[in-house]
Amino acid sequence: MRVLLAWRNLLHHKVRTTLAVTGVALAVVLMFMQLGFLGAVQATATLVYDALDFDLVIRSPNYLHLADARSFPRNRLAQAAGLEQVQWIAPFYADVTQWRNPRDGTPRAILALGVAPGDHVFTLPEIDRQRQPLHVDQFVLIDRRSRREFGPMDGRQFGDGDVGVEAELARSRVRIVGHYALGSGLAADGAVVMSDRGFARAMPGRSIDEVSLGLVKLIPGADADDAAARLRGMLPDDVEVLTRHQVRQFELDRWVNQTSLGVIFQLGVALAMVVGTAIVYQVLVSDVARHIAEYATLKALGYRFGYLAGVVLQQALTLAVAGFVPGLLVSLALYALTGYLANVPLNMTLMRVAIVFGLTLAMCAASGWGALRKMRTADPADLF
């Protein structure tokens, strides 16, 4: 009977119910989009690191993030190579510089990555098998996930048609000799890979003797934490040593908690819940006010407050489910569209669906509990 009464109340005022369902769906879409963007920040924060083969990283203590890694003397790598647990160490160079669109000359910031052509530092097979041409300082590999504003020949995406095209990188002429698909993270909309000497040539004031990162690979079975502690004791304080786990956690914390990006998206989820709660609350309070005499009658007939409260809460949870389904469908479409247009990884996950569904239920339940204050004013004595 209670479920039937809740349904009848919702269907009796179809316009108000439609408004409430629309409000819930809007809140659901907002939460999905904000969580999607937050997830994209988390995914891209460690994108380049996840494609590198290392156990430890040596870097400057002034390091900010990959695109602003600062530098330290390369001879620190030679010192670190003396540790018996080290299998090999490779220098790695990274910086943001200017790329000019080869079609119209428009400048745009791009992430430049430099590696010694003989070093196997990338786990991405596409990059590894194209290392040989990078022995020529002017040759570069370009990321296919770079935005179209960087000037692919087909106007959409870099590919085979761009091999052989010359462009300007930091006022130096370079030639595209290959391409790969990785992504550049949050600091730039595109990326190129080149040799270490090509990097120094393209970057005014940079030298291969000033390294951005030292990628350390340990012998099989070596303990990363122990090796990191030993290296910290061996090396001067102009460098710091981190394990792979520590590097990932640092990047995630940097982009999610220390920059405005992560904070904005987290606040967006909270704001979406506030909007949805306010809409559902207004609808439920209005419904209770319109039926206050009926609720008072039910009280006079002996129905307890718990029963009447259950009716209101079931209405709230019904609105949650009714609004969640269309909100999810709209969000799936927006994920696909936004991911394509903005070139960001927006992927719907079961965990995200579960989180938003739980937040939607909590949002509507809170609205229902708020509306119960109005229910308490239903007094059978007012009927006479």
Element (H, E) at 191: strand 191-195
What pLDDT digit, counting tens, does each position of 327-342 carry?
Answer: 999 999 999 998 877 7
Contact 20/276 with Cβ under 8 angstroms? Answer: no
What pLDDT digit, counting tens, does each position of 131-185 carry?
Answer: 889 999 999 999 998 988 999 998 889 999 999 999 999 888 999 999 999 987 7
Give the rounded percent of residues in the chain with a pLDDT score beyond 90.
47
Contact 183/176 with Cβ under 8 angstroms? Answer: no
Half-sphere exposure of 6 (CA within 13 A, CB side): 18
Region 246-260 average pLDDT: 87
- Whole-number mean pLDDT of the chain? 85
Residue 1: pLDDT over 80:
no
What pLDDT digit, counting tens, does each position of 189-220 carry?
Answer: 899 999 999 999 888 788 899 999 999 999 99
- On the 0-12 / 13-18 / 19+ scale of CB atoms within 10 A, 3 is exposed
pLDDT of residue 291: 59
**Tokens representing residue 240 in the block:** 């710091």
pLDDT of residue 2: 47
pLDDT of residue 383: 45
- On the 0-12 / 13-18 / 19+ scale of CB atoms within 10 A, 21 is buried
More confident residue, 269 or 190: 190
pLDDT of residue 380: 53
For residues 334 and 346, what is the distance between their CA atoms, to the nearest angstrom? 9
Half-sphere exposure of 194 (CA within 13 A, CB side): 28
pLDDT band at 302 (very low <50, low <70, confident <90, very high): low
Prediction pTM value: 0.78
pLDDT band at 320 (very low <50, low <70, confident <90, very high): confident
Domain segments of the chain as ranges: 2-44+259-383, 61-238
Give the phi and the psi of residue 249 in degrees, each rounded to 5.
Answer: -65, -35
Contact 179/168 with Cβ under 8 angstroms? Answer: no
Closest CA to 363 of 255, 278, 261: 278
- On the 0-12 / 13-18 / 19+ scale of CB atoms within 10 A, 307 is middle
For residues 369 and 359, what is the distance between their CA atoms, to the nearest angstrom? 15
What pLDDT digit, counting tens, does each position of 100-132 carry?
Answer: 999 888 999 999 999 999 899 999 999 988 988
Bridge partners, 88 (sequence order): 217
pLDDT band at 99 (very low <50, low <70, confident <90, very high): very high
pLDDT of residue 384: 45
Closest CA to 180 of 191, 189, 172, 196: 191
